[in-house]
A = this chain, B = another copy of it.
């Protein structure tokens, strides 16, 4: 099956307690595409970069089987740039710089070859752009998933509500779920958010794992306990990429299979945080990923032969 990913392809500069980077490659679209590429080859990206974006990185994505036909390169303009600094606990960060650049007037193009895709992942972007993409798909995909962030709740809530009403699955973190719903309890938040439209909801809790809600079903997957988290940037996107890549490759959106997708996404995210940027994600082997998934099986598996 084919997957279309919409998301930024951009530059980041990151500071964590473990070190500091210059401008490196980042962006939700980049992380999602690298991550899903390990599960399936028929994937396509919709994005925009400036003429400053290195061809070498685009080649790396191509080599992973990512179709770049829907990636616009705008001459005379610069790529999106974000810079942030993580606090000691790695759970919170300050944004130092945000330069929208090419994203400011991003008008997504869906090439004819992308039409008919079954899986659509809308990375964090303006909800107006996310809605445009949904509307420009000639045939409704089997599963439309979307990420967003607090920023859009603050400045574009009306558009965001429309986008959320048009999707099948929202993938956000715990703080975003709380802000979106006005509920502190994630169980209550999940109820309210699903009343806004999406049948499926994933709440990411960073180092504390992720929850999947559908109907009366709930599934929880932990994050892998790691000695060190070097850089959390992109972990949420990497999770989403692994998850959607797994679903698209198996072409099964049953709750049972979504659980497996959550584990696959969690495994990919656990690699992402081990190095700065996309470094670790660029060169994984199938065996490394299989072994990591087995670590999740070991971590969570129990057989309740006798309960009480």
Contacts and interface: CB of A to CB of B under 8 A. Distances in A.
B187 A225 contact: yes
A61 B260 CA distance: 44
A200 to B, nearest CB: 16
Nearest to A216: B298
A16 to B, nearest CB: 12
Which among A38, A300, A307 has the greatest number of chain B C-beta atoms within 10 A? A307
Nearest to A205: B208
Interface in A236-279: 250, 256, 259-260, 262-264
Contacts of A293: 304, 307-308
A89 interface: yes
A31 interface: no
Nearest to A222: B220
A164 to B, nearest CB: 21
Contacts of A137: none
A297 B300 CA distance: 10
Interface string A280-308: 00000010011001100111111111111
B263 A302 contact: yes
A188 interface: yes
B228 A185 contact: yes
A111 to B, nearest CB: 28
A160 interface: no
Contacts of A303: 256, 260
Interface in A162-198: 184-188
Contacts of A222: 209, 220, 222
Nearest to A211: B225
B220 A300 contact: yes
Nearest to A299: B220
Residue in A220, A259, A286, A305 with the greatest tally of chain B CB atoms within 10 Å: A220
A305 B260 contact: yes
Nearest to A203: B225
A55 interface: no
A94 interface: no
B219 A299 contact: yes
A184 B306 contact: no
Nearest to A259: B302
A227 interface: yes
B225 A220 contact: yes
A39 interface: yes
Contacts of A211: 225
A222 B219 CA distance: 10
A218 interface: yes
A263 B304 contact: yes
Q: Ordered nearest first, which 3 A-B pairs have the shortest CB separation?
A: A259-B302, A208-B208, A220-B222
Given A209-B222, A293-B304, A297-B304, 10 more contacts: A186-B225, A211-B225, A219-B299, A221-B302, A260-B304, A263-B302, A290-B308, A293-B307, A294-B307, A300-B302
